Amino acid sequence: MSKPRPISGFPEWTPAETLAEQTFLRKAVAVYESYGYTPLDTPAVELVQTLSAKGGVDKEIYALERLKEESRSDKPAELGLRFDLTVPLARYVALHYGSLNFPFKRYQIGKVWRGERPQEGRFREFYQADIDVIAEGNLPIHFDAEMPRVILEIFRRQKIKARVRLNNRKLLTSVYGELAIPQEKLGDVLREADKLEKVGAKALRGSLLEIGLSEQTSERVLTLADTRGSFEEIKSKLQTLDLVTANTEPGLAELESVARDLSDISSEEWSIDLGIVRGLDYYTGTIYETNLVDYPSIGSICSGGRYDDLASGFINKSLPGVGISIGVSRLISYLFKENALPVDRQCPSEILIMLPSEEKRGLCNEIAGRLREKGFNTEIYHQEQNMKKQLRYADRKGIPYMLFPFKYSSESPIVEVKNLASGEQVECPLDEWIRGGGH
C-alpha cells in the first residue's frame, strides 16, 4: 500500500472550494465572452525549442520523458510543459496565422507549470486566465482600454473591489530620458523605481544614488514613481516638472486615449500610476497592475500590457498585441484564506427527492426529470432508508430543498417541498413550484 501524501506546490481544493473556484472561473468566462473573446485551448505540452525561443529556460521548464525509456539521459528532452499561456499563444498564432481573423481576441484559462524547487507558498502548478488581442500591423488603442474594463467587470460580478493601475512604457522611458539619465542606466533605474512600494522612499533614494544618479535626478525619479491620479492630474504634474515635451507627447497621447475610453468608469476602480514599470524587455505601451482594495497585502493579482511583436520568435510578421492575465490559483488560495470567497456549497444539488420505497423510484425519476429539464440540480435519495437518514444526507451535503413525493402521481402531480434552512414547507403542483422559481 502506498500511503498518499500531498505534493508541495501542486494545490488541490476540497469539493466545496473546488465548486467556489469553478463558480469564479465561470463568471470570468461569461465576462470574457460578453466582450467577444473566443476560447482557446492549446496543449499543455510544447516543444522545448518553442518554450525556450524567447529565453523561457529561465522559467524553470518541466521536461517530459517516457518513464519506460531505456536511455533517458542520452538525448536532450524534446517536450516540456508550458510555463505561461503567452508563448503557446504566440506559437498558435504563428502556426495558424493564415486561418485566423484579426484582430484576434482570445481568452485561455489553463494550468501552467514551473519546475521550481519546493518552497512555502510557491505553486509549481497553477491556473492562469488570460485575454489577449492580436492584430496584424496596427492594433487600435481601444483595446488597451478594454483590458481594465473586462477585468473590472469580472471582479464586480464576484463582488470583490478591484482597482486597476495603469501606466505607459513609452511615456515612462521618454520621461526618464528627459531627466538625462544615460541610456545604459535606464534599465537599472526602472528596475529600482518598480520597488518603491516594497522598499520605501529612503531605500530607493539610496539605490538611485548608488546607480550614479545625482541627488536632484534621484529626487525627480522618486517624485515620478510616486505620482498617481487621473490623466489630468498626471499631465499637470508632468507640466510642473517641465516634462511635457515633443519626446514625451506620444506616450502621453496614448495614455490620454485610454483614459478617455475609460471615462465612464469610476476613479475608485482605476487610476494612472507612474510608479508601475512591469519588467523591462517585453512591454512597449500601456501596462497594467491590479490590486484588491480590501486586501492590499496580496499585491498585484492581474497584470499585463501592450507588446509590439507577439510572435517574432516564430514568424516573420508584425503582430502587436495587448493582454492581461489573472493569476487565478494565487488569488483563489488567498481569498480562501481570507474567507473572502463564499465556500458555502458541498455539491451543486438544489433538491433532494425523498425516496419513500424502491417501488416509488419510477415516480421519483419522473419528478427528477421534470425538475432537471427546468434547470434544477436534483438528486433522488439512493436507497430505501428511514426519513432521518435521508434528511441527514441532505443536511450534510447542504442541499437546500427536500421534496416529498407521497401525494405525487402522474395525473395529480402534487408535491411537498421543504426549505431545510427555514423549515418552511409548501404543498402544491410540481409545475407551480417550478414556476415560482423554487419558492
Q: Which of residues 389-408 bind a second copy (CB under 8 A)?
A: 396-397, 399
Residue 263 engages a second copy in binding (rule: CB under 8 A): yes
Residue 181 engages a second copy in binding (rule: CB under 8 A): no
Interaxial angle between packed helices 183-193 and 169-178, expressed in degrees from 0 to 180 and rounded to the nearest 10: 120
- Facing residues of 418 across strands? 402, 425
User: Alpha carbon 55 to chain centroid distance?
Assistant: 24
Give whichever of 258 and 277 is closer to a second copy, judged by the CB atom. 258
Residue 206 engages a second copy in binding (rule: CB under 8 A): no
Give whichever of 68 and 159 is closer to a second copy, judged by the CB atom. 68
Residue 420 engages a second copy in binding (rule: CB under 8 A): no
162 in Cβ contact with 142 (< 8 Å): no
Instruction: Report the candidate in 261, 201, 195 with the shortest Cα–Cα distance to residue 231.
Output: 261
Give whichever of 226 and 350 is closer to a second copy, judged by the CB atom. 350
Residue in 171, 380, 415, 430 binding a second copy, rule: CB under 8 A? 380
The CA R_g of the chain, rounded to the nearest whole Å, is 28
Residue in 240, 365, 409, 425 binding a second copy, rule: CB under 8 A? 365
Give whichever of 127 and 295 is closer to a second copy, judged by the CB atom. 127
Query: Among residue numbers 344 through 363, which ones bind a second copy (CB under 8 A)?
Result: 346-349, 361-362
Query: How many residues in the shown chain lie near a second copy by CB under 8 A?
Result: 103
Query: Among residue numbers 235 through 254, which ones bind a second copy (CB under 8 A)?
Result: none
User: Alpha carbon 386 to chain centroid distance?
Assistant: 46
In angstroms, what is the minimal distance from the CB of 173 to a second copy? 25
Query: Among residue numbers 97 through 116, which ones bind a second copy (CB under 8 A)?
Result: 99-101, 103-106, 111, 113, 115
Whose cell is 413525493? That residue is: 405
Query: Among residue numbers 123 through 152, which ones bind a second copy (CB under 8 A)?
Result: 124-125, 140, 142-143
Query: What is the SS3 assignment for 376?
Result: coil
Residue 119 engages a second copy in binding (rule: CB under 8 A): no
162 in Cβ contact with 152 (< 8 Å): yes
Residue 379 engages a second copy in binding (rule: CB under 8 A): yes
Instruction: Report the candidate in 176, 158, 166, 362 with the shortest Cα–Cα distance to residue 258.
Output: 166
Q: Which three cell numbers stand for residue 286?
A: 500601456
Give whichever of 1 and 180 is closer to a second copy, judged by the CB atom. 1
In angstroms, what is the minimal distance from the CB of 55 to a second copy? 12
Q: Segment contacting a second copy (CB under 8 A): 13-21, 197-205, 267-275, 282-290?
A: 13-21
What DSSP string runs through 105-117? EEEEEEEEE--PP
In angstroms, what is the minimal distance from the CB of 244 to a second copy? 22
Residue 61 engages a second copy in binding (rule: CB under 8 A): yes
Residue 37 engages a second copy in binding (rule: CB under 8 A): yes
Residue in 10, 236, 407, 426 binding a second copy, rule: CB under 8 A? 10
Give whichever of 232 and 294 is closer to a second copy, judged by the CB atom. 232
Query: Among residue numbers 289 through 318, which ones bind a second copy (CB under 8 A)?
Result: 312-316
In angstroms, what is the minimal distance from the CB of 196 to a second copy? 32
Residue in 28, 53, 147, 276 binding a second copy, rule: CB under 8 A? 53
Residue in 33, 232, 338, 427 binding a second copy, rule: CB under 8 A? 33
Identify residue 292 by its one-letter amino acid code: L
CB atoms within 10 A of CB 107: 21
CB atoms within 10 A of CB 246: 7
299 in Cβ contact with 163 (< 8 Å): no
The phi, psi pair for 189, rounded to 5°, reads -65, -45
Give whichever of 79 and 186 is closer to a second copy, judged by the CB atom. 79
Distances in whole angstroms, Cα of residue 161 to Cα of each of 78, 292, 335, 343 = 44, 6, 12, 18
Query: What is the SS3 assignment for 361?
Result: helix
Instruction: Report the candidate in 174, 155, 127, 129 with the shortest Cα–Cα distance to residue 18.
Output: 127
Residue in 120, 242, 264, 411 binding a second copy, rule: CB under 8 A? 264
Give whichever of 12 and 242 is closer to a second copy, judged by the CB atom. 12
For residue 390, the number of C-alpha atoms closer than 13 Å in the C-beta half-sphere is 20
Query: What is the SS3 assignment for 140?
Result: coil
Give whichever of 81 and 276 is closer to a second copy, judged by the CB atom. 81
Residue in 28, 85, 89, 94 binding a second copy, rule: CB under 8 A? 94
Instruction: Report the candidate in 232, 203, 28 with the shortest Cα–Cα distance to residue 131.
Output: 28
Give whichever of 264 and 411 is closer to a second copy, judged by the CB atom. 264
